[in-house]
Structure formats: structure tokens, C-alpha cells
Amino acid sequence: KAGVTQTPRYLIKTRGQQVTLSCSPISGHRSVSWYQQTPGQGLQFLFEYFSETQRNKGNFPGRFSGRQFSNSRSEMNVSTLELGDSALYLCASSVPPSGANVLTFGAGSRLTVL
Amino acid sequence: SQQGEEDPQALSIQEGENATMNCSYKTSINNLQWYRQNSGRGLVHLILIRSNEREKHSGRLRVTLDTSKKSSSLLITASRAADTASYFCATDGRRDDKIIFGKGTRLHILP
């Protein structure tokens, strides 16, 4: 069965712009989590969605937002981009919400902010 | 803040040797997982150990968990070039079940 699909894979934006990233989970997976990965900070938890509701949230400013649709697909949005937002954004899906469940990751969306 | 902290940050060993990575965490957990990441790609799940388990094996991998010391170790036996990757521990807490990752150990297997 198809894995977790993230689009776009690469994108370049300039400061002040906004960006929307998309994640399609594995069929049957209803929970989607987002992480930001940078060389200095490692993987930082952004948020988790289950049944179109945000279950958990990390310590990121309000410029970072997300949503989940009825088909479990999820999007995250970053507004007013800053240079420090350059990162690999990873999406992961699991059957039920987090916990004793394995996360299946997509290949990531690499965002460069100039 | 990060829950897990891996040690060492980087490790280089000869092919065929064993590699050991450690993870320490701060609060009580339900489960601890280890993941592997190859060169800036997505992470791949390796193994999950529950808080009431002390040791688990999967192929060449052995994971131990010491909840009294809030630490875990991942042992890769008979390393291969293909094991070159970054390894992350991830925990979900009892109070907050979001899965939090450490900064990882970069493992390099020398030919």
C-alpha cells in the first residue's frame, strides 16, 4: 500500500511569504503528526491531528498552523516566513493517535527561506 | 523541550563491530521507540519497547530500557555499511502522549 506522501518535496520562498505543505497519510491511518527538523534543534514536534481535531501542539508561534480534512489528509501552513523557518518538515501518520503506535514518516518537504 | 537526549552525538566504527547508542529522558514514559534516518529523508521505525519491558530484540538490534535511570540503549551487532544513518529515540509521556524525539546519534560505519 502507498506510504505517506508529502508535497511539495522542495520549495524556496522569501521572507514574509507564506507556505502550505500537504500530507496524505497511509490509507486507514487517521492520526497525522508534523515535525520540523533543523540541524541545530533536531526534530521538534509541531502538532498532531486526529479526526479533524488538533490533539496535541508543540511550542511554536501562531504563524504555524495546521488542519486535517475528513479523508485524514493534512496541511500545515506557515505565514510571514522567517529565515529560521528553513527546515525539513516531516509528516507522520499512525492508526490511532500517538502513544504505543508506530509513526510512519513521509520523505519530507524541504523549505528554504531566502 | 526535548524529552530524549542521545549519546554520543556521533559515532564512527569499523564494519563488523557493534554499535551502542544511549538515550536518556526526563519524565515518566509509556513507551520508547528507536527510529533511523538516512541522509535527510524520512524516519523509519526500528523498534518499540514498553515501560514494563526491560529488553527487546529485533534481528541485529537489541534495545534495553531502565526506567529507574530513565535511560535506554540501542545495540546494533555486526554493523554493515548500510547501517550508516542517524538514530533517534522517541518517547511518549504518561502525562502528555505526544511523541517527542531526541537530537539523534549520527552513526558512520567505516569500510
Three-state SS across A67-98? Answer: EECCCCCEEEEECCCCHHHCEEEEEEEECCCC
* Mean pLDDT for the stretch of residues A31-53: 93
Residues of A in contact with B103 (CB under 8 A): 41-43
The phi, psi pair for A83, rounded to 5°, reads -55, -35
Give residue for cell 509509556. Answer: B30
Residue B96, pLDDT above cutoff 90: no
Q: Which residues of B touch A (CB under 8 A)?
A: 2, 30-31, 33, 35, 40-45, 48, 50, 88, 90, 92, 96-104
pLDDT at B2 over 70: no
- Contact B98/A45, CB-based, under 8 Å? yes
Bridge partners (DSSP) listed for residue A65: A77
> Residue B94 above 80 pLDDT?
no
Residue of chain A with shortest Cα separation from B49: A100
A98 pLDDT band (50/70/90 cuts)? Answer: low
Q: Does the distance separating the beta carbons of A48 and B92 come in below 8 Å?
A: no
User: Of A33, A42, A99, which has the smallest distance from its Cβ to B104's Cβ?
Assistant: A42
User: What are the φ/ψ torsions at residue B83 (nearest 5 degrees)?
Assistant: -80, -10
Nearest CB partner across the interface for B92, out of A4, A42, A99: A99
Q: What is the mean pLDDT of residues A71-80?
A: 97
Q: Which residue of B has its CA nearest to A6?
A: B42
pLDDT at B6 over 90: no
Residues of chain B neighbouring A93 (CB-CB closer than 8 A): none
Range in A69-83, B33-47, B52-66 with the lowest mean pLDDT = B33-47
Confirm if B105 and B10 have CB atoms less than 8 A apart. Answer: yes
Q: How confident is the model at residue B50 (pLDDT cuts 50, 70, 90)?
A: very high
Burial class from Cβ neighbours inside 10 Å (0-12, 13-18, 19+) for residue B90 reads buried
What was the pLDDT predicted at A97? Answer: 67
- Which residues pair with residue B62 across a beta bridge? B57, B75
**For residue B5, what pLDDT is reported?**
83
Q: How confident is the model at residue A101 (pLDDT cuts 50, 70, 90)?
A: confident
Q: State the pLDDT at residue B1.
A: 45
Q: Residue B93 above 80 pLDDT?
A: no
Would you state the pLDDT for residue B92? 87
Inter-chain residue contact A56 with B50, CB threshold 8 Å: no
What pLDDT was estimated at residue A96?
Answer: 76
Distance, in angstroms, between B42 CA and closest chain A CA? 4
Q: Is the dihedral of CA A96, A100, A102, A103 positive or negative?
A: positive
Query: What is the enclosing helix (H) or strand (E) of B111?
Result: none
Provide the grid cell at B95: 502525562
Sign, CA dihedral A36-A42-A45-A46, equals negative
Least confident of A25-29, A39-43, A55-59: A39-43
